[in-house]
Chains A and B, each alone.
Chain A
Amino acid sequence: MGRKLLLENDHIEGIRKLDVYRKHGGYSSLEKALKTMTPEQVVEEVKASGLRGRGGAGFPTGMKWSFIAKPAGVPRYVVCNADESEPGTFKDRYLMERIPHLLIEGMIASSFALGARTSFIYIRGEYFYVARILEQAIAEAYEAGLLGKNIMNSGFDHDCYVQVGAGAYICGEETALIESLEGKRGNPRIKPPFPAVAGLYGCPTVVNNVETIAAVVPIIKDGGAAYASIGVGKSTGTKLISASGHINKPGVYEIELGVPVEEFIYSEQYCGGIRNGKKLKAVVAGGSSVPILPADLILKTAAGESRLMTYESLADGGFASGTMLGSGGFIVMDEDTSIVKNLWNFTRFYHHESCGQCSPCREGTGWMEKILHKILDGNGTLADVDLLWDIQSKIEGKTICPLGDAASWPVASAIRHFRSEFEEYVRNGKSIKDVKHYFRLHQVAEA
């Protein structure tokens, strides 16, 4: 059990190198696509696979690809989103660091399917050493005729470049990423037009997450139907989960979608249970932006069914009792965790990372941070908790990009499920810990 499609070979010595990667079947999918398939057939296989974007939103990849505009004489671009800044997420780094050629092969094959002569891998600047690993892999690929002119004698030409960012969560949002790639501040664009029509340099562009593009390789290899046979319902294939927090075995796990959450947290195959024999208190299942759930609701749905690691099961119950699979950043908190402090930490993050274009997000995230600060400091009132609720409801859905939603959901869910803890801080805040020092530690050290 537990088939692996992406990380099957990640522990093979030297798999980072082209010759070892090829010895284990690497670039056979690309060869198959270039020599035996039309670009349209590749798109059809991706559609048939049911693959959904692994960057967070879960949008069907095949459908996204079929939207790309094809005006004559206008170049198209494929851009890989390797910005990976959603707190709790580190799977793309793992994949790129271990098996860089899997991403490069996916980039070339996806570009063939979409008719892109040029592609970019936009990687967050802090992953500098990973960018170097990718650069080395790309250099090997050029040398072997897998990039450049007339790849594998197919007549297909392609160039792939690595572009480093410079530290900004918002540049993970696809239109902010494109702005950044054009050498500007990472301010998201108003959609429409969508990148598929007017993206990089105003040309049709597909932006996909690292894991999404890597998944194209096994989809071409075994066919979309084989990929779709793994998983449950509309959650097909495998997913990389970044597991962190108070667990015995943090790390990146490739799971078949459909593993029960309980098994994921407690089995030795995955997280290995909670550290130090503590009890589970809460989980943020899909990166910091998704609603936090208390132990009972993450393990079982409100209807009492076992919760599964799928897009649908995690969302079961809507925001009243469910959450989202998101980026697969699975953050586990034990019984000693302060939900209010944790929320303050998240809210501070969103305030720091708001690009500042939209007033509700720019101002609202700051207000929420300040109110939480006040509550933690013991100066809060019960009315402040209601005020927090009010502010988050006035950010959600009222901004150009979903960063506003991402900042609202953690607040709404923490209050919804842990209101009594906020009230406890309102009563006893000052005595809880030397919070003053704690805040100072978090001062933004902008040099």
Chain B
Amino acid sequence: MSDNKEYKFSDETLATAQRIIRRYPEGKEKSALIPLLHLAQAEFDGWLSPGAMDCVSALLKIQPIEAYEVASFYSMFNLKPVGKCVIEVCRTSSCWLLGAEDIVRHIEKKLNIHVGETTTDGMFTLKTVECLGSCGTAPMLQCGGDYYENLTFDKVDNLLEKMKSEGKRRVYTKDDMINI
């Protein structure tokens, strides 16, 4: 199951992956699966295509299905292409009490997309997610590993504009993954 693209970790990422694999006892290397899927998602455009997952399962010498079944269980893994900036707004308890609903509505209008969609220029994907442990600074959103808290419409506007003008993909970078 693969598209035409070649899915191969860079030497640097491969070294990181191998460092991670080594910390588990012999025979228990599958423990590295989630960290490696994160690495793959960061390396291959912010989502896990079948090819990207195959690359990980080959490294861990497991069946591809083992990688798919894990990837599909966890909400942080994107199984479809996403925009460069994935905006994840918390929709749970305290954030909801303090206006998460209005924040989502505002972003929808601003980006002219609905929750779950990606802007036509491929810049933004809007998602809603469950409590991110930032309830004391609600409402909040996360993008590419960064937390943005105590949100107001102004703050959101500035943030979206900044992201758009920078135009770069926001995922936690491979540098962040050195040991993780």
Spot the interface stretch: A4-12, A143-151, A158-166, A358-366.
A158-166
* B114 cross-chain contacts in A, Cβ below 8 A: 440
Q: B74 to A89, Cβ gap below 8 A?
A: no
Given A85-B133, A443-B116, does the pair A182, B28 have CB atoms closer than 8 Å? yes
Could you tell me which residues of chain A, from 227 to 280, have a CB within 8 Å of some CB in chain B? Answer: 242-246, 250-252
Asked if A132 is at the interface (CB within 8 A of a chain B CB), the reply is yes
Is A409's beta carbon under 8 Å from chain B? Answer: no
Pair B136/A447 contact, Cβ less than 8 Å: no
Q: Which of B95-103, B151-159, B160-168 contacts A (4 or more CB under 8 A)?
A: B95-103
CA distance A80 to B179 in the complex (A): 18
What range describes how many residues of B lie at the interface?
Answer: 35 or more
Which residues from B are CB-within-8-Å of A345? 91-93, 96
Task: For A442, give the chain B residue with the smallest CB separation.
Answer: B91
Chain B residues near A85: list those with CB within 8 A: 130-131, 133
B55 to chain A: closest CB distance in Å? 16
Binary contact readout A288-332 vs B (1 if CB under 8 angstroms, 0 otherwise): 100000000000000000000000000000000000000001010
- B-side contacts of A93, CB under 8 Å: 133-134
Whether A440 contacts B115 in the complex (CB less than 8 A), given A90-B134, A445-B126, comes out as yes
Mask, B72-98, CB within 8 Å of A = 1, is 011111111110001000011110111
**A193 CB-CB contact with B under 8 Å:** no
Task: Return the chain B residue nearest A85 by Cβ.
Answer: B131
Q: Is the CB of A185 within 8 A of B135?
A: no
Nearest residue, chain B, Cβ from A182: B31
Q: Of B38, B47, B81, which one neighbours A166 at CB under 8 angstroms? A: B38
Contact B92 A166 (CB under 8 A): no
In the bound complex, residues from chain B placing their C-beta under 8 Å from that of A180 are 34
Please name all residues of chain B whose beta carbon is closer than 8 Å to the beta carbon of A92 when the two chains form the complex.
133
Task: Tell whether A414 is near chain B: CB-to-CB under 8 Å.
Answer: no
Q: Are A87 and B145 neighbours in the complex by a CB distance under 8 Å?
A: no
Q: Are B145 and A129 in contact (CB under 8 A)?
A: yes
- In the complex, which residues of chain A have a beta carbon less than 8 angstroms from the beta carbon of B66? 183
Q: Which residues in chain A, 339-388, are within 8 Å of chain B measured between CB atoms? A: 342, 345-346, 349, 352-353
B97 touches A246 (CB 8 A): yes
Q: How far is the CA of A304 from the CA of B101 in the complex (A)?
A: 38
* A66 interface contact, C-beta 8 A: no
Q: Which residue of B lies closest to A336 (CB)?
A: B97
Q: A244, B76: Cβ atoms under 8 Å?
A: no
In angstroms, how far is the closest chain A Cβ from the Cβ of B172?
5
- Contact between B130 and A252 (Cβ–Cβ < 8 Å)? no
Which chain B residue shows the least CB distance to A346?
B93
Asked whether, in the complex, the Cβ of B93 is within 8 Å of the Cβ of A342, the reply is yes
Residues facing A in B120-137 (CB within 8 A) are 125-137
Task: Judge whether A423 is part of the interface by a CB distance below 8 angstroms.
Answer: no
B73 in complex: contacting residue of A164, A181, A185, A346, CB < 8 Å? A185
Distance A197 CA – B178 CA, assembled complex (angstroms) = 33
Contact flag A244-B96 (CB < 8 Å), given A131-B180, A185-B73, A438-B101 = no
Interface assignment of B142: CB less than 8 Å from any CB of chain A: yes
Q: Is B76 within 8 A of A166, CB to CB?
A: yes
Closest chain A residue to B76 by CB distance? A167
Which chain B residues border A127 with CB–CB below 8 Å? 133
Which of A126, A329, A445 meets B127, CB within 8 Å? A445
Flag if A244 contacts B94 (CB, 8 Å).
Answer: yes
Whether B80 pairs with A331 at a CB distance below 8 angstroms is: no
- A251 CA to B137 CA, complexed, in Å: 8
Tell whether B69 is near chain A: CB-to-CB under 8 Å: yes
Complex Cα spacing A310 to B147, Å: 32
Using CB atoms, name the residue of chain A closest to B70: A185
A115 within 8 A of B: no
Whether, in the assembled complex, A337 has its beta carbon less than 8 Å from a beta carbon of chain B, the answer is yes
- Nearest chain B residue, comparing its CB with the CB of A127: B133
Q: How far is the CA of A441 from the CA of B128 in the complex (A)?
A: 8
Ordered by A's residue number, 24 sampled pairs between the chains whose C-beta atoms are within 8 Å are A87-B135, A89-B133, A131-B180, A135-B178, A167-B74, A168-B73, A180-B34, A185-B70, A242-B136, A244-B93, A244-B94, A244-B136, A245-B135, A246-B98, A288-B131, A331-B93, A345-B91, A438-B101, A441-B104, A442-B91, A444-B116, A446-B75, A447-B80, A447-B86
Chain B interface (Cβ < 8 Å from any Cβ of A): 23, 25, 28, 30-35, 37-38, 47, 60, 66, 69-70, 73-82, 86, 91-94, 96-98, 101, 104-105, 114-116, 125-138, 142, 145-147, 172, 176, 178-180
Interface residues of A (CB under 8 A from B): 75, 84-90, 92-93, 124-129, 131-132, 135, 139, 159, 161-169, 180-186, 201, 242-246, 250-252, 284, 288, 329, 331, 333, 337, 342, 345-346, 349, 352-353, 437-438, 440-447
Apart from A167-B75, A182-B30, A182-B31: 17 A-B pairs, beta carbons within 8 A? A75-B25, A88-B93, A164-B180, A165-B74, A183-B33, A183-B60, A201-B28, A244-B135, A245-B97, A288-B92, A331-B97, A342-B93, A441-B91, A441-B105, A441-B128, A443-B128, A445-B126
